[in-house]
Amino acid sequence: MATYAGRLSAPPAPDIARLAVRTTGLTRRFGDRTVLDRVDLTIEPGEFVALLGRSGSGKSTLLRALAELDHDVAGEGDIDVPENRSVVFQDSRLLPWARVLPNVVLGLSGGPGARQRGVAALAEVGLAGRERAWPTELSGGEQQRVALARSLVREPELLLADEPFGALDALTRIRMHGLLRELCERHRPAVLLVTHDVDEAVVLADRVLVLDEGRIVLDRPNNLPTPRAHRDPRFIEHREILLAALGVGITQDDEGNAEC
Ligand SMILES: Nc1ncnc2c1ncn2[C@@H]1O[C@H](COP(=O)(O)OP(=O)(O)O)[C@@H](O)[C@H]1O
Ligand SMILES: [Mg+2]
């Protein structure tokens, strides 16, 4: 079965009532081009799933469908997602005319408690004391921290993240990996992380999907203990299998990083 090509055997049937995400026959088209072709996807509550795929393979289209941000796009299929979900993009999308704390609690219901929750969320992402800063006073990494705080302050059941670290330098990205992992272990949302970075997927996810030609061509669990060392032979094996599914030869730099 193509969907579970990465598994040794078919997984146990999921309990549909308690899934965080379920799509059935999800199809999306732009003109004549079918970008998602009958995608069936399930994500368990608290499960961290990474979605890899070549540029243009439909990763963002899938994420936008799950975020229900694609009402203008042609297609069919069923989508079950929780009401309480958050989306993080590559660009932090902070309102430049609002200070950091109002950005975090924007649209949050909950009265006076909202402010306290916002302050706590900022502390969790390492930005205690920056509540009154303007977004332009923050570095790119700090802006993404604010975006994470804004997402998590809502205690989402589902966090959808589209290449959230794609614009950050390598060191900042590594720090953000640690932070995201920590936040997810504490808050336990289901996560769909879109990335083009194979190592990022192996470092962070419980399960990695590869999207190609509109279908999920690999669905591979990742049970490596954390923190995950790039030089661990099991890490290298994961990377090689994912790169093969992406149709790229292995290209490693001196640090052992591999990207597609
Ligand atoms: N609004 C749109 N109109 C027309 N084509 C689109 C639109 N959005 C995406 N596409 C096309 O759909 C394909 C998949 O895009 P996308 O989901 O953004 O890919 P990815 O995120 O994997 O790079 C690409 O060929 C892209 O050009
Ligand atoms: Mg994209």
| Domain positions in the chain | 1-84+157-260, 90-154
Structure token pair of residue 26: 């999800």
Ligand 2 centroid – CA 167 distance (Å): 13
Mean pLDDT, residues 231-239 taken together: 97
> What pLDDT is recorded for position 11?
60
With the most atoms of ligand 1 within 8 angstroms of its CB, the residue from 26, 60, 90, 211 to mutate is 60
Mean pLDDT, residues 146-157 taken together: 95
Q: How far apart are CA 210 and CA 218, in angstroms?
A: 5
Contact assessment for residue 20 and residue 1, using Cβ atoms and an 8 Å cutoff? no
Q: How confident is the model at residue 112 (pLDDT cuts 50, 70, 90)?
A: confident
pTM, rounded to two decimals: 0.90
Q: How far apart are CA 122 and CA 128, in angstroms?
A: 6
Comparing 11-15, 78-82, 158-162, the range with the smallest average pLDDT is: 11-15
Mean pLDDT, residues 200-228 taken together: 96
Mean pLDDT, residues 154-159 taken together: 96
User: From the CB of 9, is ligand 1 less than 6 Å away?
Assistant: no
Q: Is residue 122 predicted with pLDDT exceeding 70? A: yes
> What pLDDT is recorded for position 54?
95
Q: How confident is the model at residue 12 (pLDDT cuts 50, 70, 90)?
A: low
User: From the CB of 60, is ligand 1 less than 6 Å away?
Assistant: yes
Per the model's pLDDT, the better-predicted residue between 254 and 238 turns out to be 238
CATH architecture of 1-84+157-260: 3-Layer(aba) Sandwich (3.40)
